[in-house]
């Protein structure tokens, strides 16, 4: 099976080569870490030969943020280990290097034995921790062959992934065999893991690590914006984060309606993908709305304008400026994004009807009257209603913060489980 998989993967890579080359030439994507993905270790990696290694894999920014609190607490509970972090995306790589130091961070190799083995030989990890659901067959097999324990943490199975996994669950049972423990976000995720092939005695639900994240130290831009907004008496502030293609036009239409009665309102708009920054800026300007890019903003009056957050890793603290937050990927059929960042600041949250990837989280907030779910047509009305009704807005934000705090504790349970796995080595 593994030989056939490797051949098919190589064939897919060759056939898709023109796409990758075009992306590298036109958008400068995938250039960073190119050699690392093919198994060439970067010189910056520094291994302490006196300590065992723990390899944590976090695909992108969301996963890096999810495991950040866990990684910070590992030295206290699992003393004597050096932690290395791999990511797949460039944005995740930048954030991981910033948080954990470039000497401990690298790009995840392609799922070929020749690319994986150099890392396993160099790191000799005692434990491999994979955030959410990255089931790479060769990687899992080779980890087992190197005597590393493998644990999936913060695991979740979206509706779309579940449908796909179920079609190949006969193969998945074998692929998942090397994994020592599956720590799921919810009971539903645990059941889905078992359904697709995880042994029932190795799967448990411990909660979502993201509920335990502390609010990050705000970057300078946040306080600069806060001071400017107060000085020029701009507002109210709406922060629309992690927006996807097709959503910005709807949000801008709603913002124009808000401006008709609140001309000093501010919309802070944060597209999910950096490659769309220029496209979204052009869209804003085409509607006759002044657009300031965060990278170029130097204290100008933002009243009645859109501030485009063309940066990475700053969205969370920016939510603290908002009187109202919208979390994207939910007005279009994308499955939604993490709602916990605005909840952490007690900000009232609005999302669209497509939140399948965060169903359990959103439903728990809905049951606590801690979120508003609306369709595209209702968006301007709900924005107007909440901006007018301060009492309702305050209640919604307070309920969001309570809902978040009520579900904390996953980090402690995860650390305890990792300790137990290591004790078996």
Residues designated catalytic: 63
Distance CA(152)–CA(135), nearest Å, equals 9
Give the count of alpha carbons within 13 A of 299, CB side only.
4
Distance CA(75)–CA(88), nearest Å, equals 24
Give the count of alpha carbons within 13 A of 422, CB side only.
20
List Cα–Cα distances, 63 to 33, 53, 123, 297, 414, in angstroms: 18, 20, 21, 29, 15
What is the DSSP code (8-state) at residue 416?
A: H
Distance CA(132)–CA(346), nearest Å, equals 26
Distance CA(125)–CA(309), nearest Å, equals 38
Give the relative orientation of helices 90-100 and 61-77 as an angle to the nearest 10 degrees: 30
The torsion defined by the Cα of 352, 354, 133 and 185, in degrees rounded to 10, comes to 70
User: Would you call 332 helix, strand, or coil by DSSP?
Assistant: coil
The 203-205 sheet, strands edge to edge? 105-107, 81-87, 52-57, 125-131, 149-155, 181-184, 203-205
What is the DSSP code (8-state) at residue 126?
A: E
SS3 of 244-299:
CCCHHHHHHHHHHHHHHHCCCCEEEEEECCHHHHHHHHHHHHHCCCCEEECCCCCC
The pair of structure tokens assigned to 277 is 């920054």
Give the relative orientation of helices 359-367 and 187-195 as an angle to the nearest 10 degrees: 150
β-strand 237-243 against 324-327: which pairing, if any? parallel
Token pair 């644990």 is found at 151
> Counting Cβ atoms within 10 Å, is residue 47 exposed (0-12), middle (13-18) or buried (19+)?
middle
* CA neighbor of 120 nearest in space, from 132, 101, 136: 136
């Amino acid at each position: 099976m593994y030989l056939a998989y490797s051949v098919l993967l190589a064939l897919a890579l060759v056939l898709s080569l023109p796409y990758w080359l075009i992306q590298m030439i036109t958008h400068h994507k995938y250039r960073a870490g190119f050699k690392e993905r093919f198994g060439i270790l970067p010189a910056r990696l520094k291994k302490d030969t006196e300590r065992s290694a723990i390899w944590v894999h976090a695909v992108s920014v969301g996963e890096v943020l999810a495991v950040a609190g866990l990684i910070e607490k590992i030295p206290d509970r699992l003393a004597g280990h050096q932690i290395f972090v791999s990511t797949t995306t460039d944005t995740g790589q930048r954030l991981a290097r910033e948080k954990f130091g470039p000497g401990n961070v690298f790009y995840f190799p392609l799922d070929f034995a020749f690319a994986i083995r150099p890392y396993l030989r160099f790191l000799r990890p005692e434990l491999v921790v994979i955030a959410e659901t990255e089931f790479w067959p060769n990687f899992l097999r080779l980890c087992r062959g190197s005597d590393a324990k493998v644990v999936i943490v913060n695991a979740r199975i979206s509706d779309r992934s579940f449908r796909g996994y179920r079609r190949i669950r006969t193969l998945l049972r074998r692929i998942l065999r090397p994994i020592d423990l599956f720590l799921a976000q919810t009971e539903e995720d645990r059941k889905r893991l078992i359904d697709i092939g995880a042994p029932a005695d190795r799967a448990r639900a411990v909660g979502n690590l993201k509920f335990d994240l502390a609010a990050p130290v705000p970057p300078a831009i946040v306080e600069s914006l806060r001071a400017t907004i107060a000085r020029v008496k701009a507002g109210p502030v709406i922060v629309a984060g992690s927006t996807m293609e097709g959503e910005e036009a709807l949000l801008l239409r709603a913002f124009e309606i808000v401006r008709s009665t609140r001309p000093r309102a501010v919309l802070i708009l944060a597209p999910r993908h950096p490659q769309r920054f220029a496209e979204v800026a052009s869209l804003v300007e085409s509607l006759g709305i002044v657009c300031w890019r965060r990278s170029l903003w130097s204290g100008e009056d933002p009243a009645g304008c859109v501030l485009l957050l063309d940066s990475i890793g700053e969205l969370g603290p920016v939510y603290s400026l908002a009187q109202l937050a919208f979390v994207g990927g939910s007005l279009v059929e994308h499955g939604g994004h993490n709602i916990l960042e605005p909840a952490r600041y007690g900000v009232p949250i609005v999302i669209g009807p497509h939140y399948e990837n965060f169903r359990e989280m959103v439903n728990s907030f809905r049951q606590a009257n801690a979120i508003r779910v609306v369709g595209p047509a209702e968006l301007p009305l709900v924005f107007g209603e909440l901006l007018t009704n301060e009492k309702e807005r305050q209640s919604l934000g307070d309920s969001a913060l309570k809902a978040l705090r009520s579900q904390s504790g996953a980090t402690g349970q995860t650390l305890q489980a990792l300790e137990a796995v290591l004790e078996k080595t």
